[in-house]
Structure 1
Amino acid sequence: MERPLIYDVMIYFKMIRPGTLAACISPVMIGLSVASHSVRIDILLAVLTLLTACSIQIMSNLVNDYFDFKKGNDKEGRLGPARAVSLGLVSVQTLLRFIFFYTFLSILGGIALVWVGGIPILLIGVSALIFAVLYSATSKSLSHLGIADIFVLLYYGPLATLGTTYLQTMQFSLTSLLWGIGCGVISIAVLVVNNVRDYEQDKEHGKKTLIVRLGLGFGRIYYILLILLPVLMLFVFATYWQGIFQGIIGIILIALFLHSKGRAYNLVLILTGVYNLFFTLNLVLI
């Protein structure tokens, strides 16, 4: 008996990990907000920027799933959400087709953006694609070496905000750089939750994340600092009300993180992504 089409659609939708898209949507929205203070936003260009960023993120997610499956990281006892390919819901061939499809979309969108923005956008785009693959593609991948944090900060923060603002204004902006750092820091916090949750499994598989290298105690302190830094930035560079609003949400999030164990970290992972969206809305709407 064939599966209903809606069943396959839901599997494919879950496979692209829509919950991770906050990490690429937030810096683009902030970059557009900064640009809107000096020029009228080109809506078509803005949408293209957003779709290209999302395509790169989805491609990165799928590449990560593929290599985790090939390396045997999706074994029984996994604390993170089960992946469709490891459950047998999607074949490896289908997963590869999705990878090629989103890679094609990323390159196509990137070419259009380079046509507008020139060499700076070419450098950001090509390096972003390379980062997306190197994050998990080899035995010496960034995620295994414990150096992913700096790349997450750059590509989910300043490079994304600066590139977005540049496409609209043809100028680089210090304001875009500043708030991009806030965005990138929160994306590192998402990575930290993931690595704290997977601490034992990562040690077993020889995955030398920063948390494996420095310990769970470091991971908890690291997460707290990453969540509070954007709050401090809002107090210093924006308004007290923005800082208070972000701070209340941040304290609740920290409490949840410190009291979580095992699969409970999956909720904190999602909420940390939402925290990034709150940071973005805090800047854009208030």
Structure 2
Amino acid sequence: MQTEIQSNPTGLNKRGWKVWWRLTRPHTLTAAFIPVTLGTAMALEITDIHFGLFFAMLIASLLIQAATNMFNEYYDHKRGLDNEESVGIGGTIVRDGVQPKVIMNIAWALCGISVLLGIYICMHSSWWIGLIGTVSILVGYLYTGGPLPISHTPFGELMSGLFMGINIILISFFIQTGTITNLSILVSIPITILIGSINLSNNIRDLDGDKEFGRKTLPILVGRKNAINILMISFIISYVWILSLILFYHVTPWLLIVLLSIPKAYEAVKKFVGKTMAIEMMPAMKATAQTNTIFGLLLSIGFIFSYFFKG
């Protein structure tokens, strides 16, 4: 491996595009795709969709999420958390031999592209979006970078939920409509919870390793069993929240379609129960991310159906 790195300035082996694709940690990109889609779908009731803004917001969000993943890989390697036996990481440094500096440069390049897209978005909406976007990039970096990474604290779930959930949903809604409504805020809550749950599932899996390195994540503080219970309660709240909006806020009953995602949420919790090895919990993590994806897509479809079939 050393010889290969010396002959290649990037340190990248010959496995090609799959290495670069894995570097983005594609299974996490749903946390960027779903909020943009939902925020735009809700805007249909108010205005025609500006697809240029939609795609700019979508790409910028995906790039920031990918950059955050790269910051995570860089700093976990730098702090000695990752090795070739680590479970569930991108692995481009410890397994594929990519130079850490290359990963950091790519991450900042992706942030730079997202800034350019942000300028386009601001030109067609509000320059306040630029400030919010800058803070989002900073939080993405500070999640694993800086003197006290957010990922080392009990606030990882909260910060990921807020900045990848309600933040992106409301920006996506605002750049289309020029306003924020009570409904757009209320609908964003369950997706915010589910995105936080993706982070929670990751921390449940990594509990033992994180504890060894002195992290104080939520599952470490409450224990694995209680963390799984929190995950289950998060799922329940998300579904009850949508039902409450339909019953008490007179939101379109098309949103009942989200109930089709319940089996996936049940699967996520069930596959965590009784597991202690990180590799055993990978299917549960995958099911948690899929729950957010399916829930969010169905929620978006519900709003789209409501718009086209309201008559």
> Normalising by the residue count of structure 2, what TM-score does the alignment of the two structures yield?
0.85
Structure 2 residues without counterparts, runs of 5 or longer: 247-252, 303-311
* Structure 1 counterpart of 2:296: 280
Distance in structure 1 (CA, Å) of the matches to 2:188 and 2:39: 8
Q: Conserved in 1, the CA contact under 8 Å of 2:219 and 2:227?
A: yes
Identify if the C-alpha distance between structure 1 residues 86 and 116 changes in structure 2 by more than 3 Å, giving closer, same or farther.
Answer: same
The answer to which of 233-242 and 211-220 deviates more is 233-242
* Structure 2 counterpart of 1:127: 135
What is the 5 A alignment of 1:131-280?
Answer: 131-238=139-246, 239=253, 241-242=256-257, 244-261=259-276, 262-280=278-296
Counterpart AA for 1:249: K
How far apart are residue 190 of structure 1 and its match? 0.9
The answer to which of 103-112 and 19-28 deviates more is 103-112
Counterpart AA for 1:156: M
Structure 1 residues without counterparts, runs of 5 or longer: none
How far apart are residue 216 of structure 1 and its match? 1.4
Higher helix share: 1
Distance in structure 1 (CA, Å) of the matches to 2:294 and 2:93: 32
Distance in structure 1 (CA, Å) of the matches to 2:132 and 2:182: 17
Distance in structure 2 (CA, Å) of the matches to 1:18 and 1:266: 15
Q: Does 1:30 pair with 2:38?
A: yes
Counterpart AA for 1:200: D
How far apart are residue 79 of structure 1 and its match? 2.7
**Same amino acid, percent of matched pairs:** 22
Where does structure 1 differ by over 6 angstroms across 4 or more consecutive aligned residues? 1-6
* Structure 2 counterpart of 1:115: 123
Distance in structure 2 (CA, Å) of the matches to 1:268 and 1:69: 25
Distance in structure 1 (CA, Å) of the matches to 2:156 and 2:69: 14
Q: Conserved in 2, the CA contact under 8 Å of 1:228 and 1:247?
A: no
How far apart are residue 5 of structure 1 and its match? 9.3
The answer to which of 172-181 and 59-68 deviates more is 172-181
Larger-gyration structure (1/2): 2
Counterpart AA for 1:61: N
Counterpart AA for 2:292: N
How far apart are residue 277 of structure 1 and its match? 1.5
Identify if the C-alpha distance between structure 1 residues 105 and 245 changes in structure 2 by more than 3 Å, giving closer, same or farther.
Answer: same
Q: Conserved in 2, the CA contact under 8 Å of 1:199 and 1:212?
A: yes
Equivalent residues, number? 286
How far apart are residue 7 of structure 1 and its match? 2.2
Identify if the C-alpha distance between structure 1 residues 202 and 263 changes in structure 2 by more than 3 Å, giving closer, same or farther.
Answer: same
